[in-house]
Structures are given as structure tokens and as C-alpha cells.
A and B are shown apart, each in its own frame.
Chain A
């Protein structure tokens, strides 16, 4: 099932975010955030259920969203904590102070005459007894979960100062069958695992799905043409087309931050170089010319630079160049091989896969080559992709039996956590926050 994802209308846009809500609030330990059941001014039936039950489901979704982070410990909604509609904007802070909550999320769902619902979301600093953020959304009743994810994001930003990661999507390659004849399909889901759908049928081998920044489009590698080649797919319609109309092997696509261009690798004979092409066609422009294998390009968030890997020195290492291919400089000088760089959305880090005697491990390094840190122990980890918050990565991990699964790891040093998917999975890619 794929339905068109329309931008959420901002119903309470006039209620601007207070400036201090953007300040990080100290994250030494997980912040306790209370999420009592959302309210409704009057329980009104909608095609997705009554507004009171939607409010209850939305509260649970917010608690689940925040539980997946390492920075927030949610106090889940409890029936006894129902509050009245007026209390949405006038909570009883003393009650939440007494249970140790640092922050409080309240909100309401109200039916509108046009058949949609208004979703109001408020975040309070319990200790200071004041509001730190509020936002409103107007959505079709069936899309209540997207508004809930936006509300989770508002709370996450209030606590951490980083963008919320909940109204985002994850694409990956769903794997089934024996290792010698693996069936691979492009799958896409909301970041909490809901709305899971397959975009290809498994009749041809597919690899490395890469979402456009707003998750409306996806670039991937398909063997449909008899060899690996980059193709594009519209997420809403499933329509497919090749990125470049030629006969060359091409792979490793990634979108530019504005979604208008794609960097990728293309082979002419034995030479593998990095090219950039417009999403809507046009001749690809060559960016690298070394005789080595140059691949896995990843744009910096400002679009001015590209990180990539090259084995021109004899082993795979990370490099950074200007977006026009000039000013190449090597980033990694540690032992082992460095591969699959991914530039963080905040520009601070480049995540990578390191291949060494201890297997494949995920790590991060500053674009200037400083601050290198390995995050996972391996031995079969690969292909990191950033969350919109720049505080967390998703990657694939070999699981012993020849299959692999998806895992998330936070930069704060906590353990990697399994991402639940229906079968095996590889090549995960995490989108930016949707409109």
C-alpha cells in the first residue's frame, strides 16, 4: 500500500516557536518526559475512529517514538491521567514534578467541519513551569500518526536541540531465500516500522535504495537491464526509469541535499569514477578521473562538497572534494580500509564502514580527518545512514546464518538496537524529515 503523502498543513502556524525551545537542555542522562493521554474538546466520530480514541492512540505513538531514542525516557500514557481540554494549555505542573518528569507533552485532537482533524501539540518544561514549544497540524483522520510523529519531534527537539526523527521514512532491501539465490526487494516504511510496503516485486536483483530528502523519490541499483544500473522510482506511484540512458555499469547513487541531482559511480571499462546527473535527465558530468575505484559519493548538507571512497592509494580510503570535482583531499589515514562514507545532516561528521582484521565496523570521523571514533564492534557491520537528528545511524549487520538485519546506533555510546522488519534486511537508508 502506498498512498500519496501530502504536506501537513500547519493549522496553528501563527503560534510561533519560542526562541528558547531551540536550546539543548543538557543530555547527560535520559530526560523523563510525561505523555498523558491527549484530550479532545468533544468526542466526534471520524472514518479513523472517534477523536477520543485517536487521541489515546496518538499518545501511545508519541511515547513509542520517544522510547526509541537514547535521550528521552517517556512516562507512557495512563488512563488515570486524562486531563480536560482546558488543561491542555494549563497543566498541573506540581503533579508531573512529583513523578520526576522533566518535560510534559500535552495536546488535543479536534474534528473539523471539512472532515479533517486539528492536532494541537504542546511541550512544557515541568521544572520551570512554562511552555517551551507548540505546534498545530491539520490532517486527514487516517493520517493522525504523521501528526503524532511531528508532535514527538517537537518534544525531541525541545529536549535535545536536534531535529525530530519520527516523521521520516526508512528504505532498505528486504531479503529472503537462500544466500546463493537471494530474493531482494526494495522496501519502505515509516521510521517506527509502520506503513511497510514493497516497491519492487523481487523478480530482479536490487541494491542500495537511497531516498530523496523528503522521501518522495528513491534511487536504487537494479540488475533489470542485465547489469547493475541506477534507476529512479516514484514512491507514490511506483513508476520507474533509468537515471542515465546508456549501457554502462552504474551504482552507488545518492541525492543532493536539494533533491535535484544524483551523484553515483559509473564504469567505463575497468575504470570506476564518480559522476553527477540531474534527476530529470541530461548528460552526466564526470567528477573524478583517478584510475582507481572511486565510489560511494555523499554530499555535504550545504551541497558544496562530496565525500567518497577511493582505492587509488592501494586500499580504500575516504576523500573529500568540492562538488565540481576540484580540490580532492584524503580524510582517513588509520589502519585498514575505509568505505561507504555518509555525511551527517548537520555537517559535523562523516560516518563510514571500516574493514580491518577485526571485520567490518561502523565509525565516524570529522570531515577534516580529526575525531575518528568506532561505534560498533562488528564483525559484519556495513553501510551507515544518518537519522535527521545527526545523533543516530542505521546500518546493516550480518547475523551469522548468512542473513543480515537492520540496527540503529546512537553516537552517545549506547548499544546498537535491532530494527524490527518482516524478514532479513540490508542497505538501509533513512530520509530527512518530511513536509
Chain B
């Protein structure tokens, strides 16, 4: 029974990892661009949720949408204001620009929200469900299921819709896409918006169960990189499986080996997998 409890907890956590990692992998797949500020997007999503709850007394649906919308706008703005320009610069400038952005966002958050640890007050989502002896906290359940559905939706958007085809077309061959009448700039801005929105909504979902402070983005950013690399750069389904796997491994190893070993196990498997399959689980070689 305890084993089942550990597995359920790990999968729910993994679903959220999958959601915010899918945003990171989308940007990589679209533009071969690494966004080091992705963890900070998650962190901002958490604060948006907090503001909506404390100022507007909004419920989970309200702060979920608010976080997604606010971060979508931020994502597009970041693309238009920063990324579009540094894309023309040398590789190093591209890498360091989002690193700088991460620090800017983190320390702005320190400035505005202070360094205090905050947590979301109880919402309509508080409580625990007893499913035949397995206790699942309602916020974690809703967060996990929503995250899984959104990741799936992101995958369907990319593979089954015109917009998705246009996004992938730009990713595959920018000039050819232009010749077909697709505006790459617009598509890339959309990709950044979607990526940031997925991080934002993941943050809002996480906020229902975890206390945080502005430095929380570091932890999430690192997790996202592991998930994306494990799943294969640019693959949304890969990020989804990898997210679930990482969540599960963390839970199982924390329970059986002790919490200080869980990262050892995760990173150990990570290195081993890269050695065997450098392109990740579902990446293209």
C-alpha cells in the first residue's frame, strides 16, 4: 500500500515537471535556443497565483488562467524585446542573454516580493482524498491531472493543428516556411508565449501545495533541463515521459534509499542514459 502511495505521489509530481519542461523543449525544438530563465517563469507563475488569490480572492481556475495569460504575455515580450535581437548575435550571447534574464527576473522578484517564504492560503482545492487507503491531496491531484492534460494538449496542438504545423515548419526550415507564407517571427513569438504560459500555469499548480521564495526557480530550472535532456531535446512526448520518470524515481529513491540520495539516483540514471542514448529517450539522433 505504501509503495502505491509513493508511486502515486511521484507520478503527480512528475506530471508537473512534464508540463513546465514541455515549454522548455518547445523553444529548443523551434529555435535551437536554450532558455535559462525557464525556472524563473515557473516562479513568476507562482507569484501571479498568489496575487490573484490574495487581491482578487480568485479561485484555482482564475489564478491558473491568470498565470498562463500573464506569462504568455511575458513570453511574447521577452521574445520581441530580447530574443529576436540576440538571435542575430554570436552563440555565447544567445546563451548568456537568458541567463541574464533569469537573474533579472529573480532579483526583481526579490525586490518586489521580498525574500520571505510565502505560501498560497487554503483555496477551494484544499483537502485530501482517500482512494482505498491511498491518500492524495486534492491540490496535488488536480495539479497533476491538469498538468498531464495540458502537456497532452500541447502535443496535440503541435501535431494536429494548422498552427502546430506552421510552428514545426518554421522549426524545420525557416526560409522554406517563409516561402509558404508563414511568418517565422510570429510563430516564434507564439512558441515563446506558449512555453512561458506552460511554465506559468505549472507554477500556479505547484503553488497550491509548495511554499516558495524567489529563489525557487533555480530548483525548477535544473529539473526542467534534466527532463528535457532525458526526454530528447525538442520532443514534447519525450518531456512528458521523462517528467513522469523523474518524478517517480525521485519518490521511490527518497522512500527506499533516503531523500539525500534521490538526486544522486536521478542524475546517475541521467548520465547513464546519456551515455547509452545521447539524443534522449525520444529525441532524433
Q: Real complex partners, A and B? A: no
> Which B residues lie at the A interface, using CB under 8 A?
none
A-side interface residues toward B, CB under 8 Å? Answer: none
